[in-house]
Structure 1
Amino acid sequence: MARAPTSPTIDPALDAAALLRRVGFFGLFVVVPIAAQVARRAAVILVPISVILLILASAIDGKTWPIRPIVQRLVRSPAFLAGLLVLFWAALSLIWTPFLGAATERLLNLAATILLTLAGYLALPDRMRSANLYLLPVGVTAAALLAIVIGLFGDSLLRSTSDDEGALNRGLILLALLVWPAIAWLRSRGRDGAALVTLALVVVALLLAPNTIQLIAIVAGAVAFALASIRTQPAARLVALLAAGLLVAAPLLPFVARPVGIALAGPVAPPVLTIKAWQKVVTTEPVRLVTGHGFETARRGRAVGLVPANAPTTVLFELWYELGLVGALAAAFALHAAIRRTGRQSVVIGPGALAAYAAAFVVAGIGVGLTVMWWITTLTVVVLVFIAVERGQFRTRRPKASLLKAANDA
């Protein structure tokens, strides 16, 4: 008697995990880029929710990376150890910071964001499904189209307040970074035309924006991408040297590039006045260049007159002002090591990663403070997205038809 075919066992837990993971990736790849164009705190609110969904999915189906090998790998990583030194020095600077309460709160928020990023890294599957990764270019394209509509017709219908122009600027910064992993994924699947269209839409959105920071960032990313596409490792060495060198030599920049300071000034004040204020800070207290003034001092000091109101609001200035030589050297070493490691990636992922590094450094160097939480959260998104794209680079070879026919004949 013939046996009835058995249906595969249905596990509700695995289905729930797959659904949570799908929703998490949809939120991270689609909802966050779109919402960031119209809401100032979209990334800060939505990114943790999306990452928590991914963590829950991995906890349900057990598809999480073992913690011990990851910790051992991180401990052996020079970039990670240098980053820990930066955090340690920031924590130690709480002893001499004049804003102990605010600095402690900001440091705890920063540590929580880093831990959330590590948890998201562990929660990402070892092999990413293509269906999930194709959400990334969809989200970037949709966000770029929304930004183009806002740039052409205004956003009075999309936002109730007129003082939220910063939301679009933040959203465009996110687009200027996320476009590179989207391009890397599309190119890895041989969809060069779709990658070019995605990049073109993002560039048009940035051209229509009143702020030029994002446009400069994507130009820097495009140059790095082009160089890395020709030769990845020499391009990585060049980007690493420029980024680390600028961090180390930041106190000399206002003296070297005095009138040509438009690329070094933040959006708070005209370039010349900003550079003069930077020069005054460097020459007034040269001893504090070693230890720094303490965590969160550059941001809070403006309100009480401790820092000139027209001082730069960039990482190049604030890192040295708050953490001094120790923090700057550790951050420069960590950045240099991380970028050099990127140069050893595949020719598909490497150029996109270097482009994202270049674009992110430009944004931090000319327009974003040291510990602005929306910026830290934006970097979290980019890091997790690139890891996801990297884990999607596997191929399953199908047997040839002749082999199948031979097996059937046998």
Structure 2
Amino acid sequence: MPAAQTSPGRWTAGVIAGLLVLTPLLGWAGSLGFAPAVALAGLLTALSVRIRTEDRALLLALFTALVWACASAFWSPWRPADLEGQTGLKLVFMLALYGCAVSAARAVPKFRLPRLLSGLATSAGMLAFLLLFEAVTSAAGYKVLLGLIGQAVRPDYAIKNVAQGLYVLTLLAPPALAAVSGRTRWVLGGLLGAGIIGPALVFGYDAPLLALACAVLAAGLVLGLPFLGPRLLAGLSAGGVLLAPVLAKGAFALGLDERIAPFLSESWLQRLGYWRKAVEWIWARPLPGWGLDASRAFGPGIQLHPHNAPLQIWMELGLIGAVAAAIVWAAIFSGLSRPTRTPAAAAASATAVAYLVFGAVSFGVWQEWWLALGALSALACILVLRARPIDVSARSV
């Protein structure tokens, strides 16, 4: 085959491989680094963009949400102090660059996929090992890193930053497992499970455990019902986004928050307070919303964002934003429907559900590194959906 035909595929595969190599380091030492890393990968692979006919609904919903979000900035009470705070402008670049990175996974020639699958599995395994080491040593490795770069070593700061890697590992674990087969899958599954559960218990982080449980249930549903399961998840995710204010208001009206409050930690109680305030603001202006980044202006009742993606979308972008988000998730899950049982589709469903769970309890919708991690997770899922799993244990050395 001529070099002109092989070079683009080799380049795209090399960029993705480099991103996978960086993943354990970023997951351990600096999750914020996912934003520039994924953006750079998208820029370097922009010429390989592939848009399919079946992506039109998803892309139209994303474009509608982007235009509406940028327009809503004009009536938002939040006014950024500098260019760095211009979320609408950043969203334009993020959608373009992160989208190119995701699309690059489709442009990789199939004969190059096995190496990338091996890299994905290795990357997830290395991150799991790093998190286990940090859990056993109380983040000793990260503390050494802070000392080397001249930053003050605060134990709580070190643990908080290292624990961010749990979100990365939980999202990448399903496609990493789908990337391998044979006894390799069992060994890797044990390592990844320990790398999530152990550090989560040691560091006192509940969200990864909740996301992991939901991801396992989603994978089981799709494995059991390969055609209907993803469609059920599509309906649940879209309905959850559209009905979030109604469900939350009903729960508060029934006093469910007061009943479970004695069993919750301080961080969960704080979230309940944010959600109650967000519901009040949503019902005060449900159609247009309060504008992009408006939740930043509603302190002290809400600090930065409501820590719930559907409520934040409703609060800032109103009904139009909520409908667009519902279409996005419905399109993602519906696209995973298969006539026969497919581990890769189950893994992709599990990752999508985990991302939804994390978004519902932890992060702001517009955080650059969080959106970049979503793009990286989508990229990993596309790789395993396009390839057959490899059995590393069966290879001759």
Mapped contact 2:279–2:311 kept (Cα < 8 A)? no
Deviations 1:199-245 (A, max 9, x none): 22222122222211111111111111112111112221222222112
Match of 2:99 in 1: 118
Query: Quick one: distance in 1 between partners of 2:379 and 2:290?
Result: 32
Question: Gaps (5+ residues) in structure 1?
Answer: 1-7, 396-410
Match of 2:15 in 1: 24
Range that drifts further, 357-366 or 379-388: 379-388
State the TM-score, normalizing by the size of structure 1. Answer: 0.78
Deviations 1:303-336 (A, max 9, x none): 5x5x534973120221111011221122112211
Deviations 1:384-409 (A, max 9, x none): 122222333499xxxxxxxxxxxxxx
Match of 1:35 in 2: 26
- Name the count of aligned residue pairs: 365
Match runs of 1:3-402 below 5 Å: 20-21=11-12, 23-54=14-45, 64=48, 70=51, 74=55, 77-101=56-80, 105-123=86-104, 124-127=107-110, 128-159=112-143, 160=146, 161-162=153-154, 163-186=157-180, 191-207=181-197, 208-209=199-200, 210=203, 211-258=205-252, 260-261=256-257, 270-272=267-269, 274-283=271-280, 286-298=283-295, 300-302=296-298, 305=300, 307-309=301-303, 312-344=306-338, 347-393=342-388
Query: Quick one: distance in 1 between partners of 2:282 and 2:54?
Result: 40
Mapped contact 2:278–2:311 kept (Cα < 8 A)? no
State the TM-score, normalizing by the size of structure 2. Answer: 0.81
Query: Quick one: distance in 2 between partners of 1:302 and 1:205?
Result: 37
Query: Quick one: distance in 2 between partners of 1:334 and 1:345?
Result: 22
Pairwise CA distance, 1:260: 4.8
Amino acid at match of 1:290: L
Mapped contact 1:140–1:179 kept (Cα < 8 A)? yes
Pairwise CA distance, 1:142: 0.8
Amino acid at match of 1:143: L
Question: Gaps (5+ residues) in structure 2?
Answer: 147-152, 391-397
Query: Quick one: distance in 2 between partners of 1:371 and 1:198?
Result: 32
Pairwise CA distance, 1:273: 5.5
Mapped contact 1:179–1:198 kept (Cα < 8 A)? no
Amino acid at match of 1:201: L
Query: Quick one: distance in 1 between partners of 2:211 and 2:273?
Result: 25
Amino acid at match of 1:149: F
Greater RCO (Cα-Cα under 8 Å, separation 6 or more): 2
Match of 2:395 in 1: none
Query: Quick one: distance in 2 between partners of 1:377 and 1:200?
Result: 27
Structure having the higher Rg: 1
Pairwise CA distance, 1:302: 4.5
Query: Quick one: distance in 2 between partners of 1:229 and 1:71?
Result: 25
Deviations 1:132-152 (A, max 9, x none): 221110110011011100011
Query: Quick one: distance in 1 between partners of 2:96 and 2:113?
Result: 25
Aligned partner of residue 97 in structure 1, secondary structure: coil
Mapped contact 2:102–2:379 kept (Cα < 8 A)? yes
Mapped contact 1:274–1:311 kept (Cα < 8 A)? no
Pairwise CA distance, 1:286: 2.5
Mapped contact 2:238–2:329 kept (Cα < 8 A)? yes
Pairwise CA distance, 1:129: 3.1
Mapped contact 1:181–1:389 kept (Cα < 8 A)? yes
Amino acid at match of 1:197: V
The 1:108/1:311 distance shift into structure 2, 3 A limit, reads closer
Query: Quick one: distance in 2 between partners of 1:205 and 1:368?
Result: 21
Deviations 1:150-197 (A, max 9, x none): 0111223333132243332322111101111112221xxxx1422232
Query: Quick one: distance in 2 between partners of 1:126 and 1:345?
Result: 25
Query: Quick one: distance in 1 between partners of 2:274 and 2:375?
Result: 32
Mapped contact 2:233–2:333 kept (Cα < 8 A)? yes
